[in-house]
Structure formats: structure tokens, C-alpha cells
A = this chain, B = another copy of it.
Amino acid sequence: MSNARITLVNPNSLTGVTEAIERAVAPFKGLPLTFRCLTSTGGPAGIQTQAEADACIAPMARLFLQEAAATDAFIVACFSDPGLHGLRDLVRVPVLGIGECSVLTAMSMATRIGVIAIARASIPRHLRYFRSMGVADRICAELSLDMKVSELADAEKALARMVAVGKTLRDEQGAEVLVMGCAGMADLRGRLEDACQLPVVEPTQAAVGMAVGRVFG
């Protein structure tokens, strides 16, 4: 479906994250598709706990209903895919989650997948999600950066820590592919791949890739 309209929704209220999501989509701009990246007004300012992930759902549900007529495929652009299955109940077009798509994409690349989380507190939530997807056996380990938010703002520090975690996943846990367990870090993907000498899945890009398949296939 040429000129299909793909709407990416950032469930949290940080417009800087929405901008980073825009940059993640850039490589797909040559395709005959229309991409829009929206911020879900009313979402929490960042998602670390399950409570924060859940708090995203109600505002997103309103946004989805409002944008459905102008959308051929939605993407929930948070690694925890808050509300994914429920949002599918609300609209008729495909709804993809960047967490789900990133793992599925990694599964098509290598046997053992390592996940890099930002916060340690997210790991059990991700684990419950991987289990509900029935793919937990493919995740060899998930490790977190364990950085303060203030430190994360420093992209070089964040990258350095991400590289260290990626190498640990590779050398101690056998990861053959890395998944970035967070939206908004696509800028670092190439350097992470180079430093770890492993393919890296950026979740927003994985979801856009699968959305392209859905609107054309």
C-alpha cells in the first residue's frame, strides 16, 4: 500500500524522546510512506516502573482513537509496549510494539539475544513480557546500564556504559545480537555495533521495518 501512513506514538510526555524517535525513522524516509511521530500528551515523564508503563495506556487510547482515521499502522514506541494488546482492540489497523518487534527481528538474526536495559527496575517487567510472548528462552540475558538519568544525558557516557554492557552480554552470556531495550537511542546504534562487533537491533527501526511489511504485504 503505497503512501500508507504510519503513526509512531511516544507514550511518555518527553518531546526530546519523540524527536529521537523521528531520527530513528530517518533511514526509511526514502520509502513511499508517510511517517508521523506523536507525543502522547498526558503520559508520564519517563517509564521505569510498571506503574509508569501502565499510566501511559489511558492517554494513548485516547490518541489512538483520535488518529485512527489518519493512520494505516500504529507503532507504540516504548520498549515495554504499554497497552499493546488493548490498543489492538480499539483500532482496525495494525498496531506494532517496538519491544515485540525488536525481539522478533533479533530472532531472525541469531540464536542468542542479549538485551540492554536502561534501568535495573525494568528487567523483571521485560522478563514478564518476554514470557508472555513465549520467547524468554531466546533471551540469553538482560543487563542494565544502572546510570542516573543525569548521566544518561551525556551521550558519550551512556555509549561507553552501553558498550561495556554489550561486551559483557557477548563474552559472558554468549549474545550474538544485541537489542537496545529503550526507544530514543538510535543515534548510538552504529557506534555500539562497531564497538561490540555484533549486530544491534534498534527497536523503533525494527518496528518500522515490520510495519512496512504489514502495510505492503
Give the shortest distance, in Å, between A102 (CB) and chain B (any CB): 10
A195 contacts B by Cβ under 8 Å: no
A4-28 contacts to B, CB under 8 A, are 27-28
Q: Is A133 an interface residue (CB 8 A)?
A: yes
B105 and A107 within 8 A (CB): no
CB of A188 closer than 8 Å to a CB of B: no
A residues lining the B interface (CB < 8 Å)? 1-2, 27-28, 30-32, 49-55, 57-58, 61, 83, 85-90, 94, 96-97, 100-101, 104-105, 107-112, 123-125, 127-129, 131-138, 174, 176, 202, 205-206, 208-210, 212-214, 216-217
Residue of B nearest to A214 (CB): B209
Residue contact A128 to B124, C-beta cutoff 8 Å:
no
Further pairs besides A51-B89, A212-B216: 5, Cβ < 8 Å: A30-B32, A54-B86, A96-B108, A100-B108, A108-B210
Q: Which of B1, B31, B131, B174 contacts A137 (CB 8 A)?
A: B131
Alpha-carbon gap, A112 to B131, bound state (A): 12
When distances are taken between beta carbons in the complex, the residues of chain B under 8 Å from A104 are: 104-105, 107-108
A201: shortest Cβ distance to chain B, in Å? 8
What are 25 residue pairs bridging A and B, where the CB atoms are less than 8 Å apart in the complex? Answer: A28-B216, A30-B32, A30-B216, A49-B86, A49-B89, A50-B85, A50-B89, A54-B58, A55-B57, A55-B58, A57-B57, A57-B58, A58-B58, A104-B107, A105-B210, A105-B213, A110-B124, A111-B125, A112-B124, A124-B176, A128-B132, A129-B132, A131-B134, A134-B134, A210-B210
